[in-house]
């Protein structure tokens, strides 16, 4: 290998090809960032509709695009409490706002601060200890303890530093939630521009406007540890990472792979990925931009590793924005430091050969195959799968966030209150849409579409109850949600029309849905259940080739169909049982499954069920039997159904109407095998047995 002419350039090019194959390329990095920022906006808008003055940020590798499938980075979610104002100086004080003064004196570790509570009516400090989360220090200052973040902890979360982590939930990625307070101060102005003027003036200006956060964790071992708050420059760091080129991103990922392969297994937590990021940013600032190119990747990596080696030797790794904060202080024991240095030196001296030992994403094997010509793979195969994964994750988030909003209407006792609440949500979204940038506009549109179809259905339910028909206003609201995805909006409209016995228009809408629902492409989307789903190849390919999220949702995603209890007049009798699925005993086994208060069914089986009922009303026997057959086939063959037990309950009732009572009973028994508790199948079995006995 070392005899190849222009060895380092050749290895660099082969290495760049490998990264392109495993999805670390410009197209996938940009797609990943765009969809994660959309998720961020969806979450923020949903919480703000809940009257919570917060902003949500998805930070770290999964948003930056600096991870791979095997590195499997966790999701870092930061909740910024906008009701709290952290100020660096008294001149920033504002009346009527909960204000904390940032204190950085000789008693505080570099990169950390104390938070002193100020009065809201006048620019003076508070003199009373308000509760157990405040502490009066020797100087008489009332300081906020960082343990206050435990107040917002949630069930099942594990505390790790400033974060609360959800771990081990099947079908869901681990998430680290961090509660933070915003501060307009950003130490980015302390950074001198390096060679080639990096970071640029525009980047520094953006970082300065972004400000920083304070998060609830103190320096380990410091005297006032529970009083210290760490200063986080996450948004400034994200700005710099978003401005890296693809070679710089690949270099950072290689550093993390080397860390996990050669360092972490023996010396866990000695060198962090954040230290690697800091070293990378320093190296970029100290080199010329033209050096960071694909055919120079190995040289760039060697330079970064040599710099990291020097940092470990000196036990000095200054924070990029706060140089006084030494990230490596106290990280190495006298026993482990020589071994860590030896491992780093081994990789540096190997001249790239050590990379063959990296098993993450098959990097070593793929790199070796580039020289031996023994292995070939479509350069887009992994990128295509990743694109589908990113879109499906966003689809599920849309379901999660809109379901949160719908469930909040459950405590409204009157249908008019539900209507008022949904209207308030939609008008708030409209106002936010008008004042937002592109990504926020998309988020507002996606949420509003989901709410409009529910608002129209609730209004139609009231119309049916009072007048026996559906108003033009209700149909107009539902029309705004028709294209929220392939099917769920249209299915709600078809359900409403079926309930007012408008079978002709019902049949037309169902026919249109069936034509649009390409079984080889469209992916069912359900956020209610936590299971791992295998995506269709065509879904992945379209996700890869198209970048318009609204178009993708309209053509290749099918959300569940949800009915609130106050929509009961808009869903067929057979589905209404699902609202009453739980006995008093079952309620204790629900956990966090609040969706069980709704009637929820997957789009495809509901399509075939409505066709069965509609064709039965139209006395079209062959079409009715075809729909029944499709319903049974979907239940048996579609792997990604979220509510298979509900589909089986609908099929069982169809079998009853066909007077196939044994088949109906088998459906209900299968349904109970899928979900033993909180299942309307129990009602159907009792009802069916009573019918058989009495007749």
d(CA 543, CA 537): 10
Instruction: Tell me the pLDDT band of 171, cut-offs 50, 70 and 90.
Output: very low
d(CA 564, CA 562): 7
Last residue in a domain, options 220, 243, 266: 243
DSSP 10-51: HHHHHHHHHHHHTT-SHHHHHHHHHHHHHHHHHHHHHHHHTT
In a domain, 229, yes or no: yes
In a domain, 475, yes or no: no
Domain CATH code at residue 677: 1.25.40
Residue 473: the pLDDT is 96
598-657: pLDDT as tens digits: 999 999 999 999 999 999 999 999 999 999 999 999 999 999 999 999 999 999 999 999
In a domain, 270, yes or no: no
Residue 470: the pLDDT is 95
Residue 278: the pLDDT is 97
Last residue in a domain, options 200, 221, 243: 243
Q: Using the predicted structure, report yes or no on whether residue 189 has a pLDDT greater than 70.
A: no
Average pLDDT over residues 523-537: 83
SS3 annotation, 92-125: HCCCCCEEEEEECCCCCCCCEEEEEEECCCCCCE
24-59: pLDDT as tens digits: 999 999 999 999 999 999 999 999 998 889 999 999
For residue 231, the SS3 value is strand
In a domain, 433, yes or no: no
In a domain, 662, yes or no: yes
- Closest by alpha carbon to 76, among 30, 125, 36? 36
What percent of the chain shows pLDDT beyond 90?
75
Tokens of 495: 């359900």
In a domain, 431, yes or no: no
Instruction: Tell me the pLDDT band of 224, cut-offs 50, 70 and 90.
Output: confident
Output the CA–CA distances (angstroms, integers) from residue 95 to 80, 82, 116, 123, 566, in the order listed.
Answer: 21, 15, 16, 8, 44
**Which residues, 6 or more positions from 617, have their beta carbon under 8 angstroms from its beta carbon?**
501, 503
Domain span at residue 162 reads 74-186+212-243
In a domain, 690, yes or no: yes
In a domain, 303, yes or no: no
d(CA 91, CA 34): 37
Q: Using the predicted structure, report yes or no on whether residue 436 has a pLDDT greater than 50.
A: yes
Q: End-to-end alpha-carbon separation of the chain, Å?
A: 84
Number of compact structural domains in the chain: 2
Instruction: Tell me the pLDDT band of 531, cut-offs 50, 70 and 90.
Output: low
Residue pair 608/594 in contact (Cβ under 8 Å)? The answer is no
Domain CATH code at residue 144: 3.30.460
Instruction: Tell me the pLDDT band of 2, cut-offs 50, 70 and 90.
Output: very low
Last residue in a domain, options 243, 262, 284: 243
């Amino acid at each position: 290998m070392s005899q190849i002419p222009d060895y380092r350039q050749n290895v660099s090019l082969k290495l760049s090809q490998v990264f392109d194959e495993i999805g670390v390329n410009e197209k996938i990095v940009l797609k990943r960032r765009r969809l994660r920022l959309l998720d961020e906006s969806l979450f923020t808008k949903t919480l703000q509709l809940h009257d919570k003055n917060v902003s949500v940020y998805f930070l770290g590798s999964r948003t930056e695009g600096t991870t791979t499938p095997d590195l499997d980075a966790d999701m870092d979610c930061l909740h910024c409490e906008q009701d709290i104002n952290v100020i660096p100086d008294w001149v920033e004080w504002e009346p009527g706002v909960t204000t904390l003064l940032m204190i950085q004196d000789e008693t505080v570790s570099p990169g950390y601060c104390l938070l002193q509570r100020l009065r809201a009516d006048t620019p003076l400090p508070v003199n009373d200890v308000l509760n157990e989360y405040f502490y009066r220090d020797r100087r008489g200052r009332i300081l906020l303890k960082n343990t206050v973040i435990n107040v917002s902890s949630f069930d099942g979360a594990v505390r790790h530093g400033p974060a609360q982590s959800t771990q081990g939930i099947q079908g869901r990625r681990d998430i680290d939630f961090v509660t933070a307070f915003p501060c307009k101060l950003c130490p980015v102005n302390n950074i001198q521009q390096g060679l080639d003027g990096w970071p640029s003036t525009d980047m520094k200006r953006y970082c300065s406007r972004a400000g920083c956060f304070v998060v609830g964790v103190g320096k380990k071992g410091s005297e006032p540890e529970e009083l210290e708050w760490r200063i986080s420059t996450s948004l400034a760091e994200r700005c710099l990472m978003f401005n890296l080129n693809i070679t710089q991103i690949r270099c950072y990922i290689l550093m993390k792979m080397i860390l996990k392969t050669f360092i972490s297994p023996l010396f866990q937590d000695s060198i962090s990925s954040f230290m690697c990021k800091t070293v990378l940013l320093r190296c970029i600032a100290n080199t010329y931009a033209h050096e960071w190119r694909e055919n120079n990747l190995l040289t760039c990596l060697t330079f970064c590793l040599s710099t990291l080696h020097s940092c470990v030797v000196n036990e000095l790794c200054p924070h990029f924005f706060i140089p006084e904060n030494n990230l490596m202080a106290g990280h190495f024991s006298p026993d482990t430091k020589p071994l860590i240095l030896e491992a780093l030196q081994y990789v540096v001296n190997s001249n790239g050969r050590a990379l063959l030992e990296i098993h993450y994403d098959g990097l070593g094997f793929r790199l070796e195959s580039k020289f031996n010509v023994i292995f070939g793979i479509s350069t887009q195969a992994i990128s295509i799968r990743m694109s589908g994964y990113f879109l499906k994750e966003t689809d599920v988030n849309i379901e999660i966030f809109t379901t949160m909003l719908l469930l909040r209407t459950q405590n409204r006792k009157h249908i008019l209150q539900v209507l008022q609440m949904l209207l308030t949500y939609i008008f708030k979204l409209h106002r936010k849409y008008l004042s937002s940038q592109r990504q926020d506009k998309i988020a507002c549109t996606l949420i509003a579409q989901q709410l409009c179809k529910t608002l129209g259905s609730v209004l139609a339910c009231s119309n049916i109850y009072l007048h026996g028909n559906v108003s033009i206003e209700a149909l107009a609201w539902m029309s705004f949600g028709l294209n929220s995805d392939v099917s769920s909006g249209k299915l709600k409209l078809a359900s409403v029309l079926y309930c007012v016995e408008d079978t002709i228009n019902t049949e037309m809408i169902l026919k249109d849905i069936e034509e649009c629902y390409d079984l080889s492409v469209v992916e069912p989307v359900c956020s209610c259940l936590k299971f791992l789903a295998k995506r269709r190849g065509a879904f992945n390919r379209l996700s890869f080739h198209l970048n318009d999220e609204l178009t993708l949702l309209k053509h290749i995603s099918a959300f569940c169909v949800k009915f609130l209890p106050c929509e009961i007049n808009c869903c067929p009798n057979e589905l209404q049982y699902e609202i009453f699925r739980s006995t008093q005993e079952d309620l204790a086994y629900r956990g966090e499954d609040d969706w069980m208060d709704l009637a929820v069914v997957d789009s495809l089986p509901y399509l075939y069920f409505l066709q069965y009922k509609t064709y039965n009303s139209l006395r079209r026997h062959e079409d009715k039997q075809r729909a029944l057959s499709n319903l049974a086939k979907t239940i048996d063959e579609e792997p990604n159904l979220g509510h298979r037990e509900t589909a089986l309950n609908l099929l069982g009732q169809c079998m009853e109407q066909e007077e196939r009572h044994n088949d109906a009973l088998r459906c209900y028994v299968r349904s109970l095998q899928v979900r033993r508790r909180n299942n309307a199948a129990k009602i159907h079995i009792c009802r069916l047995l009573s019918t058989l006995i009495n007749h």
